Structures are given as structure tokens and as C-alpha cells.
């Protein structure tokens, strides 16, 4: 970071946190101590890039704006307050909710769609998990997890480093989307390949596919799950779902969802 950014950041951070009820609570949400946050506010120390992104997500402005000239930053805050910012307010609200749950590495400015994700084990169809996925225009996908599960269900696990699992989403000439996920188990021993069949040239509708996980050692196959990405039109739905993710009872979801996941022509 430049010397000018070192000067700008503490000023902008103090302005951004002026509405916070508890700085101790805020520091806990971004995974640092209250003393560490005080050093950022005083200008004695600059945050790492990862911490800067977490702060950015929780206060609802970009990392670049936090490092900008204070007068420009004030204009950004006014724009956000009036609803004229680059990211719609309802997506910013969703971003803050996901950040509260520990999911920080999301680029909401490039957001293309939010999905409710169902993962069903092929070997045992009672093994069903639910998550929330965000797909951006540049092809990144992040899935939020909350409970530790075995096998492919670890895609829904809250990671140790408090970052959303992320893979690069690419499209083949045949209209199939692929996403590779590394470090699914948090210790570098598991990776996964997600294959999605999209009905259009962009991932803007419901999608189905498979998630295959393997162990890195000897490339040992672990298990396969069927996945269903159901696009959410209402951001509030994603906020409600973010509190209900993890392993779920198949009897508690809509019959049409199970029909899609268990379709033999899947």
C-alpha cells in the first residue's frame, strides 16, 4: 500500500465504523482482537489484504474506497445511503448477513445470481445437505457451509479460515459448467469437481449436476452427490436460508426438489 493509502485508511475506517454499536463485536466478526482494531484506527498498523476484504464486506464499501481520499470516501458513503451505489442495497444487506456468518470473500459488485443449493448423496439418498451459492459474472462461485459433514457434504462445512469455499466456474462448448474446489476439508486433503448442466449460455436459471470428491493422496475417489442449484429471485430468501443450511431431513423439503434430485435421467 502507498503512503497516501496509509494516511487515508484510518480516517475512512473511523468514518465507516461510526455507526457500529460495539467495536469489540465488530473486531470479533472480522477475526481480530479489539486491540488490533485500535491499531488500525490509530494508523499504527495497516491490515492484511484478507482482513481489509472482511472489513470491506461488513461496512458495505469496497476495499479501494476504504483506501481512497477521505473526501471521495464521504461521497461513496452518501451514495450508498441514497441507494445510488454500484451494488443494490438488498444485495449489500445480504453481503453483510453472509459476512456475519463468516463468508467474506464475495464480490457482490459482479454478482449474477444467488442460489439455494441441494446436495444429495448417490449411495445413500437420505444424505441431503442445503447451502447457499453466489455466482458472479466473472465466473467465481462461493458456497456457504455451516456444519461439518463427511464426504462431498464437506462442501457445506464452515471453513477454518472463515472464507467461503471458492472455485472457478467455466463453461464448455456444450453448455456445461465446471467448478473445481480445493481444500474442501480445511486441511488440504480433499478436493472436488462440480459439473453443472445449464439451460442457457449463462448461469442465470436453475441448474443440476454432480459433485465428485477425491482425496489428493493417490487420487482416491470418495463419493458423488447430485446437486440442484435453485435460483432465488428474492435476496431476503437467501438471508433466511443462510440460517438453515447444513444437513437436512429429506422429508422437510418440497417433493418437487426431491423429484429433481432422484430423477434417473438426471
Same domain, 33 and 114: no
DSSP state of 159: P
Same domain, 110 and 196: yes
- Grid coordinates 426438489 are at which residue? 257
Same domain, 241 and 156: yes
Same domain, 156 and 208: yes
- For residue 177, the cross-strand partners are 171, 196
In a domain? residue 99: no
pLDDT category at 250 given cuts 50, 70, 90 is confident
In a domain? residue 95: no
| Count of other CB atoms within 10 angstroms of residue 126 | 9
Separation of alpha carbons 53 and 197, rounded Å: 32
Least confident of 109-123, 150-164, 248-262: 150-164
**What domain range is 159 assigned to?**
105-261
Same domain, 31 and 125: no
Same domain, 121 and 252: yes
Percent of the chain with pLDDT over 70: 46
Same domain, 81 and 113: no
Answer yes or no: are the C-beta atoms of 108 and 95 closer than 8 Å: yes
User: Which residues of 17-138 form beta strands (DSSP E)?
Assistant: 111-121, 128-136
In a domain? residue 97: no
pLDDT category at 163 given cuts 50, 70, 90 is very low
Could you give the number of structural domains in the chain?
Answer: 2
Least confident of 63-67, 89-93, 244-248, 261-265: 89-93
Same domain, 76 and 109: no
Q: Pick the last residue of a domain from 86, 118, 144.
A: 86
Same domain, 113 and 82: no
Amino acid at each position: 500500500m502507498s503512503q497516501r493509502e496509509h494516511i487515508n485508511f484510518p480516517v475512512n475506517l473511523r468514518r465507516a465504523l461510526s455507526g457500529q454499536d460495539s467495536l469489540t463485536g465488530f473486531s470479533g466478526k472480522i477475526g481480530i482482537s479489539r486491540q488490533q482494531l485500535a491499531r488500525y484506527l490509530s494508523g499504527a498498523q495497516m491490515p492484511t489484504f484478507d482482513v481489509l476484504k472482511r472489513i470491506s464486506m461488513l461496512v458495505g464499501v469496497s476495499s479501494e474506497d476504504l483506501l481512497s481520499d477521505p473526501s471521495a470516501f464521504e461521497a461513496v458513503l452518501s451514495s450508498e445511503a441514497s441507494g445510488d451505489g454500484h451494488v443494490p442495497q438488498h444485495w449489500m444487506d445480504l453481503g453483510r448477513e453472509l459476512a456475519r456468518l463468516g463468508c467474506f470473500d464475495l464480490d457482490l459488485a459482479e454478482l449474477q445470481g444467488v442460489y439455494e443449493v441441494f446436495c444429495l448423496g448417490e449411495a445413500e439418498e437420505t444424505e441431503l445437505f442445503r447451502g447457499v451459492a453466489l455466482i458472479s459474472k466473472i465466473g467465481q462461485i462461493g458456497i456457504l457451509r455451516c456444519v461439518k459433514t463427511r464426504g462431498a457434504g464437506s462442501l457445506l462445512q464452515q471453513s477454518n479460515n472463515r472464507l467461503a469455499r471458492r472455485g472457478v466456474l467455466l463453461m464448455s462448448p456444450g453448455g456445461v459448467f465446471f467448478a473445481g474446489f480445493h481444500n474442501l476439508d480445511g486441511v488440504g486433503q480433499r478436493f472436488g469437481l462440480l459439473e453443472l448442466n445449464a439451460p442457457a449460455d449463462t448461469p442465470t436459471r436453475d441448474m443440476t449436476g454432480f459433485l465428485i470428491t477425491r482425496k489428493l493422496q493417490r487420487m482416491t475417489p470418495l463419493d458423488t452427490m447430485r446437486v440442484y442449484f435453485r435460483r432465488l429471485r428474492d435476496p431476503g430468501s437467501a438471508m433466511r436460508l443462510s440460517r438453515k443450511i447444513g444437513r437436512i431431513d429429506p422429508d422437510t423439503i418440497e417433493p418437487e426438489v426431491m423429484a429433481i434430485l432422484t430423477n434417473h435421467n438426471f
